[in-house]
Amino acid sequence: MALLGVDIGGTKIAVAVANDQGELLDQDRFMVATTSSPEQALDRVAEMARDLSARQQNPLRHIGIGSPGPFHNGTLDRPANLPGWHGVDLARSLSRRLDCPATLQNDATAAAIGEWMFGRGQHTKHLAYITVSTGVGAGFVLNGRPYGGPHGNAAEIGHIVLDPKGPQCNCGLTGCLESMASGTAMGRVGNQRRQESAYLSKPRAATTIRAEDVIAGWQEGDPVCTQIVDDVARHLGHGLAILVNLVNPERIVLGGGVMHAGEPLLEKIRHWTAIYSMPTLFRETELILSGLGGDTGLVGAVAVAMVGRQE
């Protein structure tokens, strides 16, 4: 029998079937904007799941779901990235549609479980996964068990306030790590400083600067882009140092679109993490890049199904 992984995001929803070893056998996805309501989106997920299961000739045995939070008692509680989804009980809704048990985790926690079981978090008991993309999120595996707190909302590292006078964050606070060090923040500052940068002010098709434009400018040696990337690395290092000092994980795995910049960016982040951390604790923590690539969310959701099936 097959496992089903459902990776829910603010932009797209991906669905995959996998075998008992967690190998993705088939997958499909759709844009959230093509549906008019959460109910219609979940109907679409169920339809895709049935199609994928039928193509594999393999009935479903457990559903794993990774979704942005926050949650309260298993239901979405005003999720910033999923407007209109407040109060939706994802696990119960999909379980009812597919007549199959379902387990829900925060998307970053799901990714952490995926890295721990199948990626670069293997052979650890204390792992943190950090995603740096549209936002900044984290997930924990502590003492060999996924940790999400009583409602699944633990590890909201992106909403640690680093500077109370910093930029406004979507969560309502100011100066959050996410508002200063995400891909969205990188693009915002790139747009603000566009005319100062020889690279960003070139005639270009795109009217809005994105994180990948800033990273490309940094890689080309542009001083303004370099300053933006240096600031993001410093803020991320500050946030990770809080995590190092508080949790003392064996390994921190970094993923997400911004981390596609690779080892040169990771080295900058390591530098600042070391400066802000207690030296002994920093030496005990390894910082590495994710090895799961673009399938991190789906692999994580499948891993949630595997863990849920065993409970």
Contact residues for 36 (Cβ-Cβ < 8 A; gap 6+): none
Judge if 161 and 194 occupy the same domain: yes
| Same-domain pairing of 93 and 191 | no
Say yes or no: 180 and 264 in one domain: yes
Q: What is the pLDDT of residues 271-301, one digit of tens each?
A: 999 999 999 999 999 999 998 877 889 999 9
Q: What pLDDT is stored for residue 138 in this prediction?
A: 94
Alpha-carbon span 235 to 219, nearest angstrom: 19
Residues 68 and 159 in one domain: no
Kindly state the helix (H) or strand (E) to which residue 189 belongs, with its residue range.
Answer: helix 183-192
| Rounded Cα–Cα distance for residues 129 and 223 (Å) | 30
pLDDT at 311 over 70: no
- Asked whether 238 and 212 are in contact (CB, 8 A), the reply is no
Alpha helices (H) along 195-277: 211-219, 223-247, 263-276
Contacts of 20 (CB under 8 A, 6+ apart): 3, 306
- What is the C-alpha to C-alpha distance for residues 136 and 242, in angstroms, rounded to an integer? 14
Angle at which helices 107-118 and 296-310 cross, to 10° = 80
Q: How many domains does the chain contain in total?
A: 2
Burial (Cβ within 10 Å: 0-12, 13-18, ≥19) of residue 193: middle
The pLDDT of residue 205 is above 70: no
What strand order describes the sheet that includes 136-142? 145-147, 136-142, 127-132, 251-255, 286-289
Predicted local distance difference test score (pLDDT) of residue 10: 83
Check whether residue 286 and residue 194 sit in a common domain.
yes
Are residues 19 and 131 both part of a single domain? no
Token pair for 9: 């995001």
Query: Do 237 and 276 sit in the same domain of this protein?
Result: yes
Domain check: are 158 and 267 in the same one? yes
Both 34 and 10 in one domain: the answer is: yes
Unique residue bearing structure tokens 């673009």 = 294
Q: Are residues 277 and 142 in the same domain?
A: yes
Indicate if the pLDDT at residue 204 is higher than 90. Answer: no
**Mean pLDDT, to the nearest integer, of 118-140?**
93
In which residue are the tokens 């490309």 written?
A: 216
Distances (CA, A) of 120 to 108, 170, 240, 255: 15, 31, 18, 11
Q: Assign residue 37 the CATH number of its domain.
A: 3.30.420.40
Structural domain that includes position 88: 2-115+295-310
List the structure tokens of 118: 């199948």
Tell me which residue has tokens 């064996």.
250
> Are residues 139 and 282 located together in one domain of the fold?
yes
Residue range 32-89, pLDDT digits in tens: 999 999 999 999 999 999 999 999 998 999 999 999 889 998 999 988 778 899 999 9
Q: Dihedral sign, CA of 111, 113, 119, 121?
A: positive
Q: Are residues 302 and 267 in the same domain?
A: no
Asked whether the predicted pLDDT for residue 241 surpasses 70, the reply is yes
